[in-house]
Chains A and B, each alone.
With several copies, the nearest count.
Chain A
Amino acid sequence: MGLSKDELAAAVARDIPAGAYVNLGIGQPTTVADNLHPESGVVLHTENGMLGMGRAAVGEEIDPDLINAGKIAVTEPPGAAYFHHADSFAMMRGGHLDVCVLGAFQVSARGDLANWHTGEPGAIPAVGGAMDLAIGAKQVFVMMSLFTRDGRPKLVPECGYPLTGRRCVNRVYTECAVFEIEADGVRVRETYGISLTELRDRLEVDLS
């Protein structure tokens, strides 16, 4: 019961419109790329200065000057474009990306996002492009497990972790369900191997 990580990536990929410009965050969101069909014409943005980013590079393709935001070597398909960091973030912050897919520690019922900092005293703060991504894209999709390892929900009434952005998440993909964050509350779009009643039992968020 519930979706595997691969199935979750495929579910996100299915919802990305043909021809969309998309930024996939570091970590799990990166796996969405493997589920995008080339004929969909989806164009990937990487905030370190490239549009039309290709797949992970292998063997002799690896070029230390050609990496993604996670510092993984990638390839350059035909039709790519390079630009500097200010232009890249202007592109993002100016609202030109259609979709951005991010991981999260927590998402609130209002669409607040917490994904940059655990807030623990010893942790070294590092925000990278997370706050820019959160507020920039036309639609922000979050991809996460619905519960922590010790069973606490990550879709919450109020985020306990430090925020990355306020009211910025449009949709949350989890192994149990897809949630739409709407102006008047959270709507469950689909469930996977769990009933709505059971979801309501396990979350402290009103669901419709």
Chain B
Amino acid sequence: MTATEYPDPDQAVAGIADGATVAIGGFGSAGQPVELIDALRRSGPRELTVVSNNAGNGDFGLAALLAAGRVRKVICSFPRQSDSYVFDELYRSGRIELEVVPQGNLAERLRAAGAGIGAFFCPTGVGTALAEGKEQRTIDGRDYLLEYPIRADVALIKAHRADRMGNLVYRKTARNFGPVMATAARITVAQVGQILEAGAIDPEAVVTPGIFVDRLVTV
């Protein structure tokens, strides 16, 4: 169904249940939907599984959500950063679960969820510790591991602009995971700088077509 505009982030994230899997866009701070994450933290669901490339920077946005004790598990490629002290402390004290996924698999598994792919054979990680427990197969002389989709209940993403059809464009490398996460979630919430009239975004330059966007909010 076409996207609905919400007056503020709190209303845009309403209804996310305890235990939900939430995909959160961003690569470090670039593209991180901080206002939506803050609203999610205020709205109070617990025991969340967060799918995101990193596990929070400093004490804002995703890090603040972790600090508030709302997250049971993080699925990410790179939790450890110079300023990931909130996650580090939770992890070392055994208060958060971590699933480390190679960055390309994270992106491709989200894409697979959005594209109806049941599983795919991928060359990344063969012969490494991350191959443990995975089905391996040799195809045309090359070894692959079988990887499964990552589906999310909700995706929180940040885009540059939307039009009223929900079509999105992003800004530079802040695009990163937003477009794939939008396809992988049952409900995609996008915070944008501006919502324009239909027709104001060049149809050739749309990155996320409106079909993948359920809720829009200007921040």
Report A's interface with B, CB cutoff 8 A.
Answer: 17, 19-21, 41, 43, 45-52, 63-68, 71, 76-86, 88-98, 112, 117, 122, 124-132, 135-136, 162-166
Contacts and interface: CB of A to CB of B under 8 A. Distances in A.
A169 to B, nearest CB: 13
Interface string B168-183: 0011111111111001
A89 B108 contact: yes
B139 interface: no
B183 A94 contact: yes
Nearest to A63: B172
B198 A41 contact: no
B21 interface: no
Contact of A86 (B28, B110, B211): B110
Given A76-B203, A86-B111, A127-B103, 17 more contacts: A17-B1, A19-B2, A20-B1, A21-B2, A65-B171, A67-B30, A71-B28, A83-B206, A84-B176, A84-B179, A85-B180, A89-B107, A89-B115, A94-B115, A96-B211, A164-B128, A166-B128
16 contacts: A43-B2, A43-B211, A50-B173, A51-B210, A65-B171, A81-B203, A82-B204, A86-B107, A86-B111, A93-B115, A94-B183, A98-B1, A124-B80, A128-B78, A131-B125, A165-B128
Interface residues of B, number: 70
Nearest to B125: A131
Contacts of B209: 51, 81, 83, 91
B122 A83 contact: no
A85 B23 CA distance: 14
A21 B211 contact: yes
B128 A80 contact: no
B14 interface: no
B2 A90 contact: no
A48 B26 CA distance: 10
Contacts of A129: 77, 102-104
A97 to B, nearest CB: 8
B31 interface: yes
B80 A95 contact: no
B167 interface: yes
A51 B113 CA distance: 20
A88 B101 CA distance: 16
Given A79-B164, A79-B198, A85-B176, A91 B102 contact: no
Contact of B116 (A78, A79, A90): A90
B211 A79 contact: no
Nearest to A50: B173
A164 to B, nearest CB: 7
Contacts of B115: 89-90, 93-94
A92 B126 CA distance: 16
A132 B177 CA distance: 16
B2 A131 contact: no
Given A76-B172, A78-B198, A89-B107, A132 B211 contact: no
A116 to B, nearest CB: 8
Interface string B40-83: 00000000000001000000000000000000000001111100
A46 B175 CA distance: 13
A125 B87 CA distance: 12
B124 interface: yes
B136 to A, nearest CB: 12
Given A64-B30, A135-B124, A165-B127, A84 B78 contact: no
B100 interface: yes
Interface string B105-119: 111101101111100
A81 B108 contact: no
Contact of B77 (A21, A41, A90, A127): A127
